[in-house]
Amino acid sequence: MARLSLTLLLLLTAGARLVRADVLTLPEAERRALLNDAALASRAKTAQAAADLEAARSGQHPTVALSTDASIAPGGQLVDLTAADGQHFLVQGSRSIGESGAFVPVPRFGGVVSLQANLFDFGRTASRIAAAEHRVRSSMSEEQAVKEENARAARDAYLAWTVAHARVALVEQRVMEVRDQAAQVRGSIQEGARPPADENVARQEQIAVGIELSEARGELQRAELALRQIVGDPWKTSFVPDLTILEVSPAGATDAAALDAAALEEQAEAASALAESLAHDHAPVLSASGDVGVRGQATSVFPAYHLGMLLTIPIWDGGLGAAQARAAQAQAAGLRAEARSLSSARRTEQQLASDEVSRARERSELAQQLRQLAEEEVAQVNERYRLGAVDLRAVVEVRERLWRAEVQELTAKAARTRAALSARP
């Protein structure tokens, strides 16, 4: 009985892409997985780290402020005095309670532009900038790791969905073969060429493959729901996978564990820079400030400006800064140890993945050979059954072995594809 091999079945399914527009490819599934909430959250964390860096760098720049004021209050009226040399000065004077005009309001106003800048802080701002830069790089590594983890989840779910589709196709093919066989058996029984007991055997096989088809369709539904949760909407019920990924080894993926280790290293550097910054909190700060503007009262306007320098020397903070610095250094040491552990584990995983690629390829080749031998055995037993040399149960048994061989081949192809997807360039 003619039948389609798994390879031919997959190639025919892939060829249907030319006339079917609803093939969901693996790259598209990965792309859609990068738009989920976890990816958006990691992107927001990177944006926050970038904003923190900008805030840290602002400590190197002077600040400029414009302040204006207006008020009314009694007293402080301007009095014109003449000095001995004939110069005129306006000075403020107030009347006491009980004197005429003591409560007369006097308007005052002013406008001043102020500038303030730290001239030298002994590395305090620089260390904070360094810590913020490491946090940005750490967030970027974490964001990339989250993207790769989302893509990995999409690949795993997509592969499970693809295998489920292929298994349904295999079972449906088997259902058709069993149905055709049963029709032939009934015709042979009516002609008297086969015993009536063969119809019971054929019916049992039909029921068995019917159960297999129900289980395969249930597995396909579960795999589809799992993939849909990852790639999100919109989802078309007519979506089908690209089955050719089971035949062609896809490209490897980015090493998410390496990205995680890099993120931990950057976090450790950020903690070290923070500790250095906290240590510098006991250093002096030399700053300069200046104001320029006008002050006015009633109809008189006066110039206002101020230039000054300030040296601040911290003396004692109760040990808070030193304790915070030690905590940051301890955090940095812990993060570095975690990064080393992750890197070591990843090297072991890389070796195992490399070995798995070879083993998966070998299993796939052996499974293909097993399926070919099973097909030959089915053809031989079918011929012997046609000649009356064996009963129908012998045909059912060898067909069952062929089915197991086909499932093993499909499983081996899936393992080979999964190993290839996990392989790192």
Which string of DSSP letters, residue by residue, matches 204-235?
HHHHHHHHHHHHHHHHHHHHHHHHHHHH-S--
Residues 306-331, mean pLDDT to the nearest whole number: 78
Per-residue pLDDT band for 14 (boundaries 50, 70, 90) equals very low
The H or E element that residue 93 is part of is: strand 88-93
**Distance separating alpha carbons of residues 164 and 217, to the nearest angstrom:** 8
Residues 151-169, mean pLDDT to the nearest whole number: 89
Would you call 87 helix, strand, or coil by DSSP? coil
Q: State what percent of residues in the chain have pLDDT above 90.
A: 10
Locate the DSSP E strands across 236-354: 240-241, 285-297, 300-312
Contact by Cβ (8 Å): 121, 285? yes
- Enter the tokens of residue 122: 């002994």
- Enter the tokens of residue 52: 């923190």
**Distance separating alpha carbons of residues 84 and 62, to the nearest angstrom:** 45
**Distance separating alpha carbons of residues 392 and 401, to the nearest angstrom:** 14
**Distance separating alpha carbons of residues 121 and 110, to the nearest angstrom:** 33
- Enter the tokens of residue 83: 């000095």
Specify the pTM: 0.64
- Enter the tokens of residue 120: 């030298």
pLDDT digits (tens, 9 = 90+) for 336-374: 777 777 677 777 766 776 777 778 788 888 888 888 888
Per-residue pLDDT band for 66 (boundaries 50, 70, 90) equals very high
In the block, residue with structure tokens 């996990």: 422
**Distance separating alpha carbons of residues 247 and 218, to the nearest angstrom:** 24
Q: H helices of 387-425, where?
A: 392-422
The H or E element that residue 321 is part of is: helix 320-386
What is 274-285 written as a DSSP string?
HHHHHHGGGS-E
Contact by Cβ (8 Å): 167, 411? no
Instruction: Find the length of the chain.
Output: 425
- Enter the tokens of residue 145: 């790791």
Contact by Cβ (8 Å): 350, 329? no
Query: Residue 289: left (phi > 0), alpha (psi -120 to 50), or beta?
Result: beta
Residues 28-36, mean pLDDT to the nearest whole number: 81
Nearest in space to 184 (alpha carbons), one of 374, 392, 400, 397: 392
Name the fold adopted by 6-73+123-328: Outer membrane efflux proteins (OEP) (1.20.1600)
Q: CB-based burial of residue 402 (10 Å sphere; 0-12 exposed, 13-18 middle, 19+ buried)?
A: buried
The H or E element that residue 116 is part of is: strand 105-120
Q: What is the pLDDT of residue 424?
A: 47
**Distance separating alpha carbons of residues 335 and 22, to the nearest angstrom:** 46
Contact by Cβ (8 Å): 298, 78? yes
Q: What is the pLDDT of residue 125?
A: 80
What is 334-369 written as a DSSP string?
HHHHHHHHHHHHHHHHHHHHHHHHHHHHHHHHHHHH
Which residues, in sequence order, are CB contacts of 290 under 8 Å at separation 6+?
Answer: 114, 115, 116, 305, 306, 307, 308
Q: Which residue has the higher pLDDT, 215 or 131?
A: 215
Per-residue pLDDT band for 425 (boundaries 50, 70, 90) equals very low
Residues 272-300, mean pLDDT to the nearest whole number: 81
In the block, residue with structure tokens 């061989």: 405
Contact by Cβ (8 Å): 230, 154? yes
List the end-to-end C-alpha distance of the chain, in Å, as a whole number. Answer: 45
329 pLDDT more than 60: yes
Contact by Cβ (8 Å): 270, 127? no
Residues 85-114, mean pLDDT to the nearest whole number: 87
| Ramachandran angles phi, psi of 249, nearest 5° | -65, 120
**Distance separating alpha carbons of residues 271 and 265, to the nearest angstrom:** 10
- Enter the tokens of residue 150: 């989302």
Would you call 49 helix, strand, or coil by DSSP? helix
Q: What is the pLDDT of residue 214?
A: 94
Per-residue pLDDT band for 2 (boundaries 50, 70, 90) equals very low
**Distance separating alpha carbons of residues 299 and 232, to the nearest angstrom:** 71
Query: How far is CA 290 from each of CA 229, 302, 305, 308, rounded to the nearest angstrom?
Result: 60, 17, 7, 6
